[in-house]
Chains A and B, each alone.
Chain A
C-alpha cells in the first residue's frame, strides 16, 4: 500500500489541485486538437462529444418520429390509398393489382412500431439526452477540464454510432428490420422461422443493442468517476447542481441495469444461434412442434428485460428532471425549493426503481401475493416523485418567473409528469392493470410521462444551454410556437388514448375498423393521427431554428446571459479542450444562491462573506 501512495503523489504532478494540468493532456490547443479529424470527428473534448450525441440523437428522433407518422396514418386512415409512399417504402407498400390501391404491409407495420420504440427509448432519450447533457455539463459544472478518461468518452460516442449504423442497415434488409416490439420478447424474437422480422432483422437488432450497452457502460463509468473524483476545490457533494446529481444517479442506474439486459440478450443470441432453449419450451411454429427446444422459460426473459426496463425509464427521466430543476430555479430567480429533499428523492427513486420491475408483468401469470409486493413498491415510488413535483411548483411559486422557451418547456415538463404519473398510479395496482395491460391506456401513460416529458426536459435544456454550446441564442418566437404547438399537440395525441384504452382498445394492432367493438373509435383515431402530423410539423420548426441559430442566431454578448450561479457560465464558449483558460475556478457556496442579501444571484465562485453561512445547509 505504501508504495502505491507514493506513486499516487508522483502521478498527480504536485497534487490534485494543480489547476493547470490534467492527467492526460494539457488544455487549450493540446495534441488532441491538432487536425480537423481530431477536432470534429474523433474528438476527445467532452463539449464536442456532447454536440455529436445531440445531433446524432436529433437525426434519430426525426427518423423515429417519422416512422410513427407512417403507422399513425395506417391507424387513422386504414382504407386510404398509401401508394404515394411507395417511392419511400418500396415493397413494404403492397399494391392491389386490380384496384391499384396501396396498403402498408402488416409485417412492416410491426417493424415500424418496433423500430420507433427502440430508436426513441434507446437512441434518442437515452443516448441523445443523457449522452448530450452529461457530457456537456458534468465537467463544466463540477469544474473539471474534461472527463476522467476522454478516450473512453470518445469510444462511448462511437459505439453509439456503430449501434445506430447497424440498426440503420437493418432497415434495408429484404426480410425487414426486427418486428417483435421494443421489448423483444421471446419466443417470437428467439426463432428466426417465427416471422420475417425475426430473421436477420432480429440478429442485427440484438447486435446493435449490445453495442449500445457497451456505449452506455463506457459513458456511465466515466460520468461516475468524473463526478466522484474530479470536482474542483470546494465543490463538495452538496454544492453540486441538481443536474449533476441526476446525471450521477442516472449513470449508476445504467451501470447496474444494462449488464442485466445484456445477459438476457446473450441468452437470446444463444437461443437463436446455438440451438439452446433458455427461453423456449414446447413451441409450435406454423403447426409444427420444435421437439428439441424444451425446458426454457419465456418469462425469465421478461424478468431480465424489465430489470433493466424499469430503471431505464428513470435513466430517461432523471436527466430531464435535473435539467428542469436547474432551468426553473434560474428562470424563477429563486433557489430551488428543498434542495436536499430533491437530492434525496433522486436517490430514493434510484433505489426504488430496482424494486418494481414486475409491475410490467402482472399479466404474466405471476403469484398474486408477489404481485402485491410489487404494487406496494410501485406506489411508494410515487412519494419521491410527488416530492419533486411539489418542489418544482414551490420553486416557481411567487418567483419572478422569466417566461422564455426554456422555462415554458420546463413548466410543460411538470405538467406532463403530473398527468402521466397519475395514470401510473392506476397501472401500478395489479387489480386495475389486469384491465389496462396492453391497451392504449398504457401507451398514453408512458408516452406522456416518459416520452413527452423527457423531450420537454431535453428541449428546455437545449434552449437554455444553446448559448453555452454555440455562443448564440435560439430564436425566441419560433421557440414559443414550438412550445405551444408541442404542448397542445401532445395532449391532443395522448389524451384520447386514455379513453381508447379504458374502452379496451389493445395496443400493437394493425387496424381496428374491422372489430365491431372498436369501429366506433374511427373518428378518434383520425383525430389522433391529424394531431400527430401537426405536432411533427412543429418539431421541424425546432430543427430549423436549431441549425439556423447555430450560424445566424443572436450573438451572446455576456458570458452569463441567464444570470446563473453555476460554473459552466464562467468558462468562455470559445475555450478549447480544457474549458478554462487560466485556473479552474474554486467553489465557495451552493449552486442556488439567488435572491439573497438583496442580490439577484451570487455565483458559486464568490467566497462567503465574513460570518456568512452557505445557503444549501
Chain B
C-alpha cells in the first residue's frame, strides 16, 4: 500500500544550495534586464563606441584563476589537506580583491586623457559603468563570503572538516564561480557589441 501512495522521496540537493541557485536565477534576471536595455538603446543613434582597455582582460585572467584555485582549495579541504586548503583559500581571496582593483583601474584608464571617457560621456559609457559596477558589487558580496570562510579556516574550532564546513565552502564557491562566469558573459557581451 505504501508503495502506491508515497514513493520515498530522495532529496537530491541540499535546500540551502537550492536556495542559492534560485537566488542566482534572480541575479541573472537583473543582468538580462541590463543587457537587453543595452541592446535596445544601442540600436538607436548617437552611440559612442570605445575600446575595452587591457586591465579588463587582465582581470578576466585573475578571476578565472581564482575560480580554479578555489576549486582546488575545496578539493584539498575534502581531502583533509588543511595546509593546502588554507593557502589556496588565502590566494583565491587575494585574487578576488585584485580583480575588483583591476576593474577600478581599468575605469581610471578610461577616465584618463588618452580616452576621456566618463560615466555621462555617452549612453555607452553609462551602460558600461552600470554593467561593470553592478557586477563588481556582486563580486564584493562574494569576497565577503570568502572572508567569512577564511576566518572559519583560521579558527581552530572550525578548520577541520565537518559536513557543515563543506556545505559552507560549496555555497561560497558556487557563488564565486557564478560571478566569474557572469563576468565572462559580460566581457563577451561588451566585446561582441563593439
Contact = CB atoms under 8 A, between A and B. Distances in A.
B134 A266 contact: yes
B33 interface: yes
Interface string A257-289: 111101110110010001111100000000000
Nearest to B18: A225
Nearest to A222: B19
Contacts of B163: 7, 10-11
Contact of A221 (B22, B30, B44): B22
Contacts of B18: 148, 225, 228-229
Given A255-B25, A259-B30, A300-B41, A229 B5 contact: no
A610 B10 CA distance: 26
Contact of B11 (A8, A149, A274, A294): A8
B114 interface: no
B6 A300 contact: no
Given A8-B14, A277-B120, A296-B123, A233 B26 contact: no
Contact of B6 (A220, A274, A294, A588): A588
Interface in B143-161: none
Contact of A12 (B8, B11, B120, B123): B11
B133 to A, nearest CB: 9
B6 A233 contact: yes
Interface string B29-44: 1100110010011001
Interface residues of B, number: 43
Name B's interface SS. Answer: helix
A214 to B, nearest CB: 10
Interface residues of A, number: 61
B27 A7 contact: no
Contact of A148 (B9, B16, B37, B46): B16
Given A16-B9, A224-B22, A255-B26, A11 B15 contact: no
Nearest to B48: A295
B173 to A, nearest CB: 12
A578 B130 CA distance: 44
A23 interface: yes
A228 B19 CA distance: 10
A231 interface: yes
A369 to B, nearest CB: 17
A594 interface: no
Contacts of A277: 120, 123, 126
Given A259-B30, A614-B5, 13 more contacts: A8-B11, A16-B9, A221-B19, A255-B25, A259-B29, A259-B33, A260-B29, A260-B30, A270-B119, A304-B33, A304-B37, A588-B6, A608-B4
Interface of A: 3-4, 7-8, 10-12, 16-17, 23, 148-149, 152, 217, 220-222, 224-226, 228-231, 233-234, 236, 255-260, 262-264, 266-267, 270, 274-278, 292, 294-297, 300, 303-304, 307, 586-589, 607-608, 610, 614
20 contacts: A8-B11, A10-B163, A11-B163, A16-B10, A229-B15, A233-B6, A236-B6, A236-B9, A263-B33, A263-B34, A266-B130, A266-B134, A276-B123, A278-B37, A278-B123, A297-B40, A297-B44, A304-B37, A588-B5, A610-B1
Interface of B: 1, 4-6, 8-11, 13-16, 18-19, 22-23, 25-27, 29-30, 33-34, 37, 40-41, 44, 46, 78, 119-120, 122-123, 126-127, 129-130, 134, 163-164, 166-167, 170
